[in-house]
Each structure stands twice: as structure tokens, then as C-alpha cells.
């Protein structure tokens, strides 16, 4: 895949529009589950004739992630073959259609199907947004966009909870599906600023000496980065999924106090991810990865032993710093260590890893909790991050061997 848009190939205004599309893609995907979150109780009441209506409402929120995990790598391969423009515009169009369709659907089965198809579209949108960042920008601009995209996604998720709740109270549960129409102006902007790219299928006729440049086998040695990203995602979702049970056990019963403490994770994640581009001026992506691992390890260890509101809040804040840096740091490393021609699958696997960690979290944490309690589970998670930090540190790149990454573990 050739560069979609080089920084010196267009007017500055067009560059800014492309950057906006790149940042809004992840933000739109953050809306996939969060847009309907405030509507779940009302939705469960509407579908009360369905067995376990509460569970059904929760499935409406979570089922898109299944298709994101499965389809994101496929979308990456399709983008390599047919170009980013076609796949991104198709993903945005399907996002609007299947997202907003929930406003009209009254059948439970059709609603679940529409949500699965929305996940398919979301996987395409997020994957191609990351591909665009990697192929259209370089240096500080790329690092800045990776951080801002993650930060904007967190902001969209928070705003969806606030404004979505007001919409549900005023207009009913169906109104939450109107939020997906935000993708319409993004699609219009993308239509004008994302350029067509030649397919990579021509690689099949490339000389044998150049064939390895197009081979997806180059991703195999990089599997440790994807494994670490799954671990990061398990960690970043632990405060919101497991945190309330820990705070309840420690005598904090007020829902507002719990929310305030746990929200520090998201708040700090917004700021740390937004500052990723600034940090990259002074530190390598690998160094930031080590800092990331350290903050997650220390945050969870502190969370496991903390007993008062201030120390619990501090622990969540430290975890939030790591949560915000995890996606941009690993995405940056993978973009640096792969040929542009295989960025599609490389970024598709990033999207799958992010969503896989969310699904794995309850399974892993419940297993750890079965050994003792939730605090012991947090301590175990902190020790795992510490072990990975130790291995990553001893495998760190040396000044004379910059390309030596975590991939040495493979």
C-alpha cells in the first residue's frame, strides 16, 4: 500500500481534515457500546417479554464486540487488497445504517443482528483509521494522532453516558441510537479527503526477492506485543468491571463515591493518551511501553492494599495513566516494525486484541478471585504486569541494536 496522503502532497487544510477523520474513527467505535449504555434499563423494560430481559439488554450493548474481534483483521486484509478509501467509506456507511436502524427495530432478534452488523462496521472503521494514521503521517504527527485518537475515544464514551442519559430521559430509549448519525458528517469529510490507493494484489507478481515485503509472516515475531496489548486491555477494564466489588468490600457503599473514585481511571487515561505525542519527543515508544507497564503494575498493587478513599483514588489514577498510553505506544511500535504494505492486518489485529482483552477480563479475574478475593486478584494482576515489565526491560533495545524489541520473546 502506498502512502494514502503524504504531508507534502496536499494543502494544510486537507491534512487537518484527514487528521480529523483519523481521530474520529476510534471515537465512533467507542460509541458502539457506550451510546446504548444509558438506555439499558428502559430497553430491558420494553423487552420484558423476552427471557432474562436484563441480560438481553446487556447483550445489545456487548455483542458488537464479537464482530469487531472477528472482522477487524479481515478488514485489514481487505484494505490491503482494495484500498483504505473503499473500506473506510463502506464501514462508515454500514455504521450509520446498522447503528441508526435500532431506532426503528422492535424485534429482539433483529436488534441483535443489527448490533452484530454494527460491530462488523465498527471493526472496519477503527482498523482503517489506524491504517490511515500509519500510512498518511510520520514522525511526531503520527505519534500525536495516535494519542489524540485514543483520548478522543475516551471523551466520546464519557459524553455518550452524559448526553445519552439525558436523551433517554427526554425522548425514550430509542433516541440513543440517534447518536450513531454522528458518523454521517465523518463519512462526508472522508469522501473528499481520503484518496484512493492502489491494491496490494500486484505484490503477487513482484519479484521473489521482494516477496517478503508483502508477506504477513512478518507479523509472527511480533506476537508478544499483541499479547501485551491484551493484558493491558484486561487491566484497563478491571477498575470499571471489578472495581465496584472491591470498593464495596472495603466499606465504600455510596454509588456516587464509587463512581468518583473509579472515574479517575478514565480521566487520567484521557490526559495521558493526549500527551503521548509530547512524550514521544523525548522517549522512544519502547521506553513509554516500559513506563506503561510500570504504572499498571504499581497501580494494581496499590489498589489491592489500599483501604481509604485517597489511596484508592490514587491507584485508579495511576492505572489510568497506563491505560491511556497502552494503545498508542504499542500501535506506534507495530507501525515502526512492519512494512506499510501489511499495516492493514497489523492494525486489524490491534483492534482484535483491544476487544479480546475486554471479553477475557471477567474470565481471568473471576479465576483469580476464586483463589481468595478481589484484592488478591488485583495483586495477582499487578504481579503479572511486574513480570512482563522485567522481561521487557531485559529485552529492551540497545543503542547499537534499535530494532531489538519484545519480539525477541517469540
Identify which of 98, 113, 14 has the alpha carbon closest to the alpha carbon of residue 60.
Answer: 113
For position 337, what pLDDT does the model report?
84
For position 199, what pLDDT does the model report?
52
For position 380, what pLDDT does the model report?
94
Q: What is the pTM of this model?
A: 0.75
Q: Hey, CA dihedral for 125, 130, 134, 136, is it positive or negative?
A: positive
Considering the segment(s) 215-396 as one domain, its CATH architecture is Up-down Bundle (1.20)
CB 197 within 8 A of CB 83: yes
Residue 296 CA to residue 236 CA, distance in Å, equals 9
Please state the CATH superfamily assignment of the domain spanning residues 12-199 in this structure: MFS general substrate transporter like domains (1.20.1250.20)
Q: Tell me 130's DSSP state.
A: H
Per-residue pLDDT of the chain (410 residues; tens, 9 = 90+): 444 444 444 444 447 888 899 999 989 988 888 888 778 788 888 988 887 887 788 788 878 888 888 888 888 888 888 888 999 999 999 999 999 999 999 899 999 999 999 999 999 999 999 888 888 887 778 888 888 888 888 888 778 877 877 888 888 889 989 999 999 999 999 998 888 655 554 444 444 445 455 577 778 888 899 999 999 988 887 887 777 778 878 887 776 677 678 778 888 888 898 888 888 888 888 899 999 999 999 999 999 998 888 998 899 999 989 988 888 889 888 888 888 778 888 888 888 888 888 778 778 887 888 887 888 889 999 999 999 999 999 987 765 544 433 344 33
Helix (H, G, I), strand (E, B) or coil at 310: helix
Alpha helix ranges (H) inside 275-407: 276-279, 285-305, 309-336, 343-371, 374-394
Is 215-396 the same fold as 12-199? yes
Cα-trace Rg, the chain = 21
For position 213, what pLDDT does the model report?
52
CB 98 within 8 A of CB 153: no
Residue 333 CA to residue 347 CA, distance in Å, equals 11
For position 402, what pLDDT does the model report?
47
How far from 230 is each of 69, 236, 247, 275, CA to CA, in Å? Answer: 12, 10, 25, 22
Where in the chain are the domains? 12-199, 215-396
For position 232, what pLDDT does the model report?
92
Amino acid at each position: 500500500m502506498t502512502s494514502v496522503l503524504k504531508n507534502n502532497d496536499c494543502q494544510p487544510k486537507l491534512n487537518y481534515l484527514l487528521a480529523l477523520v483519523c481521530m474520529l474513527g476510534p471515537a465512533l467505535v467507542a460509541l458502539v457500546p457506550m451510546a446504548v449504555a444509558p438506555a439499558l434499563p428502559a430497553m430491558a423494560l420494553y423487552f420484558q417479554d423476552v427471557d432474562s430481559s436484563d441480560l438481553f439488554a446487556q447483550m445489545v450493548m456487548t455483542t458488537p464486540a464479537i464482530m469487531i474481534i472477528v472482522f477487524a483483521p479481515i478488514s485489514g486484509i481487505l484494505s490491503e487488497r482494495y484500498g483504505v478509501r473503499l473500506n473506510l467509506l463502506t464501514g462508515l456507511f454500514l455504521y450509520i445504517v446498522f447503528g441508526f436502524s435500532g431506532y426503528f427495530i422492535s424485534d429482539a432478534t433483529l436488534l441483535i443482528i443489527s448490533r452484530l452488523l454494527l460491530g462488523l462496521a465498527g471493526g472496519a472503521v477503527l482498523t482503517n483509521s489506524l491504517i490511515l494514521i500509519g500510512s498518511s503521517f510520520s514522525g511526531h504527527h503520527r505519534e500525536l494522532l495516535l494519542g489524540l485518537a485514543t483520548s478522543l475515544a475516551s471523551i466520546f464514551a464519557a459524553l455518550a453516558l452524559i448526553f445519552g442519559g439525558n436523551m433517554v430521559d427526554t425522548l425514550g430509549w430509542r433516541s440513543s441510537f440517534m447518536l450513531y448519525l454522528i458518523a454521517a458528517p465523518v463519512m462526508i469529510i472522508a469522501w473528499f479527503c481520503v484518496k484512493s490507493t492502489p491494491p496490494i494484489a500486484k505484490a503477487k507478481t513482484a519479484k521473489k526477492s521482494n516477496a517478503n515485503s508483502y508477506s504477513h509472516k512478518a507479523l509472527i515475531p511480533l506476537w508478544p506485543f499483541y499479547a501485551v496489548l491484551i493484558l493491558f486491555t484486561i487491566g484497563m477494564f478491571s477498575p470499571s468491571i471489578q472495581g465496584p466489588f472491591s470498593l464495596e468490600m472495603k466499606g465504600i457503599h455510596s454509588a456516587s463515591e464509587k463512581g468518583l473514585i473509579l472515574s479517575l481511571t478514565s480521566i487520567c487515561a484521557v490526559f495521558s493518551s493526549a500527551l503521548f505525542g509530547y512524550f514521544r519527543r523525548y522517549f522512544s515508544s519502547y521506553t513509554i511501553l516500559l513506563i506503561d507497564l510500570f504504572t499498571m503494575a504499581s497501580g494494581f498493587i496499590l489498589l489491592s492494599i489500599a483501604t481509604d478513599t485517597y489511596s484508592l483514588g490514587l491507584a485508579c489514577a495511576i492505572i489510568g495513566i497506563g491505560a491511556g498510553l497502552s494503545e498508542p505506544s504499542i500501535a506506534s511500535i507495530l507501525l515502526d516494525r512492519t512494512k506499510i504494505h501489511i499495516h492493514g492486518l497489523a492494525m486489524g489485529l490491534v483492534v482484535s486484541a483491544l476487544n479480546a482483552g475486554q471479553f477475557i477480563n471477567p474470565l481471568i479475574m473471576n479465576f483469580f478471585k476464586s483463589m481468595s478475593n478481589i484484592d488478591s486478584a488485583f495483586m495477582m494482576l499487578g504481579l503479572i504486569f511486574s513480570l512482563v515489565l522485567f522481561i521487557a526491560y531485559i529485552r529492551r533495545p540497545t543503542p547499537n541494536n534499535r530494532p531489538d524489541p519484545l519480539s525477541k520473546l517469540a
